[in-house]
Structure 1
Amino acid sequence: MAVKLKAILRNDLKNSTTKQYRESGNVPGVVYGKGKETKAITVNTIDLVKTVREEGRNAIITLDIENGESADVMLHDYQMDPLKDEVMHVDFYVVDMSEEMDVEVPLRIEGEAIGTKEGGVLQQPLYVLQVRAKPNDIPEEITVDVSELNIGDTIAIADLPSSEKYEFLEEEDTAIVNVLAPDTGSEEDEDADGESAEPELVGAESKEEEQ
């Protein structure tokens, strides 16, 4: 079920007016979509942040626009003020609830791998996964249990449970998480360092002989 967020149309797009919106606790934005007219709006900043925190980045939001209009949207993009840490602008994309769409879904690791207890190093190459699904079927997150991973083990896309509601877009052999052996160093590394220094030394001697 979509959550609701009140939006007000922006007819005056001057910078001075936009500044007033922000000062009054609202964030300016736009609503657009395939075959849809782009509309300039404002939403309450606190309500927006609360909605995204509670429902997730991929939540379906019903924008209640004045004059009785409404639209089912997703948060497509936003701009932050790096100094004030405030939302400066927001883009909403109108979604078709019957059509699949491609989105990024957070990947969360849970558990402690056996291999890390033995000195191995857990690596997580991906923190989000590309997923294709209808808006209402987009998972909030993908959870991967790493408890049984030993040193040298890997979990790839192919190892994830399949679902009829969504599909992963990465290649099946794409690694999600793995446990590497601890890096203890080796004599080969020291030899390699010695060999890399030798050519410079030989070259220096050759030049001295020529002189």
Structure 2
Amino acid sequence: MAVKLKALNREDHKKSTTKAIRENGQVPAVVYGKAKEAKSIAVDSLALIKTVRDEGRNTIISLDVENDKPVDVMLHDYQIDPIKDELLHADFYVVNMAEEMDVEVPLRLEGEANGTKEGGVLQQPFYELQVRAKPGNIPEEISIDVSNLGIGDSIAIADLPQRNEYQFLDDPETTIATIVPPDTLKDVEEAPDENDEPELVDRKGDAE
């Protein structure tokens, strides 16, 4: 079920008006789609942040724009002030619930791998996977249990359970989790000390 979010029409694009919108706790935004003309709107900043935090980036939002019919949208993009850490702008894309779309879904590793208990190091090369699905079938995240991984073991996309609701688009051989062996004590001892002075070769011969 889509999460509801109210929006106001935004016709004045002056900087002073945009600033006032942000000061009132709202964020300027635009909503657009294949069969919909782009429209400038404003939504409650905290409500949008809470929706994404609680439901995930790919959640379906029923956007209720004043004087218009609600439309199903997804958050396509957003901008954040790096200094104030405030939401500056958001883009919403109107989705067709009957058509598949390509999205990035968070990847989460679960459990404590046996290999890490033996001193190995768990590496996760990717934190998102490319998925194709209808909007209503997009998973909130992809979870993988790594408890049985030993040192030298790995998991590739091909090892993931196949679902009828969605398909993975990345190369099936792509490694998404692996346990690498730790550096041995011998390797550490043999590594040159950066503070050691370089060895001089035959000072007498050099002098001659």
TM-score (norm 1): 0.88
Structure 1 residues 207 and 18: alpha-carbon distance in aligned structure 2, compared to 1, 3 A threshold = farther
| Alignment-mate amino acid for residue 89 of structure 2 | H
Q: Does 1:73 align with 2:63?
A: no
The DSSP-based 3-state class of the residue aligned with 2:97 is coil
State the alpha-carbon separation in 1 of the partners of residues 80 and 206 from structure 2.
Answer: 60
State the alpha-carbon separation in 2 of the partners of residues 165 and 172 from structure 1.
Answer: 18
State the alpha-carbon separation in 1 of the partners of residues 13 and 71 from structure 2.
Answer: 21
The DSSP-based 3-state class of the residue aligned with 2:4 is strand
Tell me which stretches of 4 or more aligned residues in structure 1 moved more than 2 Å.
206-209
Q: CA RMSD in A?
A: 2.4
Alignment size in residue pairs: 204
The DSSP-based 3-state class of the residue aligned with 1:69 is coil
Q: CA deviation at 1:69?
A: 2.2
Cα offsets for 1:110-145 (capped at 9, x unmatched): 111111111111101111111000000000011000
| Alignment-mate amino acid for residue 74 of structure 1 | M
Q: Does 1:40 align with 2:40?
A: yes
Q: Does 1:28 align with 2:28?
A: yes
Cα offsets for 1:61-92 (capped at 9, x unmatched): 01001113221100011111122211010000
What does residue 129 of structure 1 align with? 129
The DSSP-based 3-state class of the residue aligned with 2:70 is strand
Q: CA deviation at 1:47?
A: 1.0
State the alpha-carbon separation in 2 of the partners of residues 110 and 92 from structure 1.
Answer: 32
* 1:45-194 map, 5 Å: 45-184=45-184, 186=186, 190=190
| Alignment-mate amino acid for residue 144 of structure 2 | V
State the alpha-carbon separation in 2 of the partners of residues 149 and 25 from structure 1.
Answer: 47
TM-score (norm 2): 0.89
Cα offsets for 1:82-115 (capped at 9, x unmatched): 2221101000011111110011111111111111
Q: Which structure 2 residue ranges, 5 or more long, are not aligned?
A: 193-199
Structure 1 residues 208 and 67: alpha-carbon distance in aligned structure 2, compared to 1, 3 A threshold = farther
| Alignment-mate amino acid for residue 166 of structure 2 | Y
What does residue 13 of structure 1 align with? 13
The percentage of counterpart residues that share the same residue type is: 65
Q: CA deviation at 1:32?
A: 1.0
| Alignment-mate amino acid for residue 50 of structure 1 | K
State the alpha-carbon separation in 2 of the partners of residues 116 and 68 from structure 1.
Answer: 55
| Alignment-mate amino acid for residue 65 of structure 1 | V
